[in-house]
Structure 1
Amino acid sequence: MSMLANQITRRLALPGWSVLRFGLTLVAAALLLAAVLTGVLVVFWIGIPVAVALFLAIRLWANSQRRVIGEQLGVHIPAPYRERPKRARLDQQALLLVREAATWRDFAWLAIDATLGFLVNLLYLGVFAVAVYYLVQPLLLVTVFHTAPNPVVNDFGFYDFDTPAKTLMLVPLALGAGVAWWRWGELFLRWYSHLGVLLLGPTANAVLTARVSELRQARDQTVDHAAAELRRIERDLHDGAQARIAALSLTLGMAEELLRQDRPEQAAGLVAEARQTCSDVLVEIRHLVRGIHPPVLADRGLSGALQAMALDHPLPVSVVDRLGEKLPAPLEAAAYFATNEVLANITKHAGATQVQVVVTHEGGLVRIEVRDDGCGGAAVVPGGGLDGVARRLAAFDGTFDLDSPEGGPTAVTMTLPAFQVGAAATDNKRASGR
């Protein structure tokens, strides 16, 4: 659909939105009146449960406003409320609600919407109604009301436009109202909606607090993941390479003893066994190092590492590389291991026959899409592999989205904020030069 068609569709849909918003202003007026009455009752005990119920009703109304305004503007307005204890007493719940800043912002928008919102939507719908009514009125007098002997219409006091011919004189008024509605009506409603976003959305301080909390949680999860990785590496070294090296030392000691006893053939057999053990230990250490940071990732970057991963995967994996730029090493490692975990999850559970990996870098975001034709039904389970991927990405302010309906297909979309290494280095040089 073209941009012009989108604008026409959007503006023709605005009267319906305005009717809905007008209905919400009537609800706001009723809630505002209930708030005044509750303020009188709150001095008595019976007013406390009424106040809690009213606060929750206002929140329900405010959430409806957030959805309507968000859909109208095409934005997401998150609810700024703090989590309330579930088993608190009524007086404690009322106190928590009163102390929360978002409650008073809801009250402010309630008062504004019950008064200014009523006038804004009434004016918008009035101009629209004038444009439509006086455009179709001549046709109505000729068709629907042509049998009426003396139709009472358009009695302005100074002149009666009561015939089809006379009502044609009001068409310029309708056209003027229509032009005003088309030209400024949407801007008028959007201005009022943006005012609602300022009051209904979280404050900058609340956003910053939530962001700090998310980063703290991501940091704690990253620290836990790093500690778990260190324990795994220690366990693998102790149970694998260290045990083999200890056995290798014993084998060489036995070979040395055989040589002292002048039994070279048996000693040669033990030396050959020790050589094979040494080769096995090297292979095991290489696998362990590859799990820490794959050499191919350092040598060929993320694109080459994903291609190598696709070649080693038991399923047919096609990689569409649209990355282009070199990324910082920590981001490349996070993207590599996240993709590897998703592919491992597909191998274990999806029952897929083919997989596609698409890597793009646009607008400062690295996007990795992994699609398979498996049975679907995948979910992010706490403590599971996909949950670990989400936590790994969260440490870099990344996102993890899963679309896996029953029966498939499954699509995993991972994003990571990134910057070009060259650009970052240039910026650093400029900063140091200053």
Structure 2
Amino acid sequence: MDGQLVQETWWQRHTRMPWRGFRLGLLGIPAIFVGLWFGTALALVGLVAGVLLLPSAALLMRNTANVYRDLIGRWTGIAIERPYLPAPASGPGFKGLLRRFTATISDPATWRDYLFLSADPVVSLFTAALPGYCILYAAWGYFLAAYGGKMLGHYGGSDWYAYIHVTAGYERNTGRIVSTIVVATLFLAFGFLTGPKFMAVYGRWGRLLLGPTEKSRLALRVQHLTETRSDAVDASAAELRRIERDLHDGAQARLVAMGMSLGAIEHLLDKDPEKARALLAQTRASSAKALHELRDLVRGIHPPVLADRGIGDAVKALALDHPLDVEVTADLPARLEPPVESAAYFAVSEILTNAAKHSGASRVWIDMGHEQGMLRITVTDDGHGGATVGGGSGLRGIERRIGTFDGVLALNSPVGGPTIVTLELPCALSSPKTSPS
């Protein structure tokens, strides 16, 4: 259910839905012209002009259909995915144009959009827009009952309101006025009471034609898996390069230096024992530093607290070492699958790092929970906002990391703050939560 709908009261829902449906009905007017333009381009396919015009006409039609999808999702809570098959790589010249043309006409979503835009003006009239028209008709009835009927009759007009001849003789007829008010009130009540139901029917109609078919859903799924597989390979390669770099610059260099120091100590044992003893002390200190660096490296690969205690306690431990004031709330009845825990942990770690470096925040709140097979993590800071996902930001890397698990990242960061980052990862609970004795 859409978040806006969840927050609405019964009264708000029943007073707003008729006008939302009425606006959807009005949207059918430009939709008619968009459908006519696509039909015209389609009729010219036998000529070169049709091949040139059809891709742009289809794009305009898709943009119009996307407006419907967004409005239906926001106003009815029925989310409609984009159903379009992946576009082929465009090339120069007529060959590239022909490839785009072929992809457009071979996509079932193109024809479903065309059918929707062609039929929607009539369908919306009897579904989403009907309550709004009933309310307007009720307002017309009140106008006729007040003085409109007498005015029309005075100037020689004749008008009926439902079954009532409101201008007959145009003299004030109490029975006729009361009947008009009663019928208008019935139309008014019908419009407000049935608005949400008719909008729900319209939402199902929109999902029927504007939603993806099984073919397009499968194609989109294959595309998503291809992209996430590529992201996973890139992330693994980057992680290996980081480990190799850390080993080469840290522990490996210290171990090489220790080997050279031990060789020098071996030659100095008989000649200069005091100097050999000093080198042994330095070697001992180097070994301690190398061990510390190796432990840090292991924690960067998979922190022991994450393996032992799970994502909740691991993030709490992460918060204790963070320079900002971080408050963690975790409601996880059991352990999650280890790969998901690892991805979620490093995602939260990256978000906290970004908050410390760029947000100007003083406090951070982390909420974690698992419901209906979904791990949901919300990280909120009181910084200056303005964060974006694109442009090579760390959030883009997080999105790619959790994308390998079909996870999604949502960002809300208006200028002036606060910044809210929400992560959702589908996962199952793998084992009961345990605590140390």
- TM-score, L = length of structure 2: 0.80
CA-based RMSD of the aligned residues comes to: 3.7
148-157 vs 243-252, which deviates more?
148-157
CA contact (8 A) 2:251 2:294 kept: yes
CA contact (8 A) 1:297 1:304 kept: yes
Please name the residue that 2:360 is paired with: 351
Give, in angstroms, the shift of residue 304 of structure 1: 2.4
Counterpart amino acid of residue 140 in structure 1: Y
Please name the residue that 2:106 is paired with: 99
Counterpart amino acid of residue 116 in structure 2: W
Cα separation, partners in 2 of 1:237 and 1:68, compared to 1, 3 Å: closer
Give, in angstroms, the shift of residue 197 of structure 1: 2.0
Indicate which of 365, 385, 396 corresponds to 2:374: 365
1:305-327 per-residue CA deviation (whole Å, 9 max, x = no partner) reads 22222222233333333334322
219-228 vs 20-29, which deviates more?
20-29
Indicate which of 78, 83, 96 corresponds to 1:75: 78
CA contact (8 A) 1:354 1:373 kept: yes
Tell me the secondary structure at the aligned position of residue 401 of structure 1. strand
Tell me the secondary structure at the aligned position of residue 283 of structure 1. helix
Cα separation, partners in 2 of 1:60 and 1:224, compared to 1, 3 Å: closer
- Looking at structure 1, the residues matched to 402 and 226 of structure 2 have their Cα atoms a distance apart, in angstroms, of 14
Please name the residue that 1:65 is paired with: 68
CA contact (8 A) 2:254 2:286 kept: yes
Percent of matched pairs sharing the same residue? 36
Structure 2: runs of 5 or more not aligned: none
Cα separation, partners in 2 of 1:9 and 1:140, compared to 1, 3 Å: farther
Counterpart amino acid of residue 208 in structure 2: L
Please name the residue that 2:423 is paired with: 414
Please name the residue that 1:265 is paired with: 274
Please name the residue that 1:108 is paired with: 115
Give, in angstroms, the shift of residue 335 of structure 1: 1.8
- Looking at structure 2, the residues matched to 2 and 35 of structure 1 have their Cα atoms a distance apart, in angstroms, of 34
Counterpart amino acid of residue 109 in structure 1: F
1:55-77 per-residue CA deviation (whole Å, 9 max, x = no partner) reads 44433443343344333323333
Give, in angstroms, the shift of residue 38 of structure 1: 5.4
127-136 vs 287-296, which deviates more?
127-136
1:16 aligned onto 2:26: no
Counterpart amino acid of residue 304 in structure 2: P
- Looking at structure 2, the residues matched to 240 and 5 of structure 1 have their Cα atoms a distance apart, in angstroms, of 57
Please name the residue that 1:139 is paired with: 146
Indicate which of 411, 414, 430 corresponds to 1:402: 411
CA contact (8 A) 1:397 1:416 kept: yes
1:212 aligned onto 2:215: no
Indicate which of 180, 195, 207 corresponds to 1:197: 207
Please name the residue that 1:233 is paired with: 243
Give, in angstroms, the shift of residue 270 of structure 1: 2.7
- Looking at structure 2, the residues matched to 226 and 338 of structure 1 have their Cα atoms a distance apart, in angstroms, of 15
Give, in angstroms, the shift of residue 105 of structure 1: 0.9
Please name the residue that 1:256 is paired with: 266
Bigger radius of gyration = 1
- Looking at structure 2, the residues matched to 65 and 369 of structure 1 have their Cα atoms a distance apart, in angstroms, of 29
- Looking at structure 1, the residues matched to 266 and 232 of structure 2 have their Cα atoms a distance apart, in angstroms, of 48
How many pairs were matched up?
Answer: 422
Structure 1: runs of 5 or more not aligned: 425-434
Cα separation, partners in 2 of 1:80 and 1:266, compared to 1, 3 Å: same
1:322-380 per-residue CA deviation (whole Å, 9 max, x = no partner) reads 33432222222222211212222223223333333333333433333333333433333
Tell me the secondary structure at the aligned position of residue 386 of structure 2. coil
- Looking at structure 2, the residues matched to 408 and 149 of structure 1 have their Cα atoms a distance apart, in angstroms, of 62
- TM-score, L = length of structure 1: 0.81
Cα separation, partners in 2 of 1:183 and 1:96, compared to 1, 3 Å: same
CA contact (8 A) 1:135 1:174 kept: yes
Give, in angstroms, the shift of residue 122 of structure 1: 7.8
CA contact (8 A) 1:26 1:118 kept: no
1:374 aligned onto 2:379: no
Indicate which of 265, 272, 290 corresponds to 1:281: 290
Cα separation, partners in 2 of 1:320 and 1:161, compared to 1, 3 Å: farther
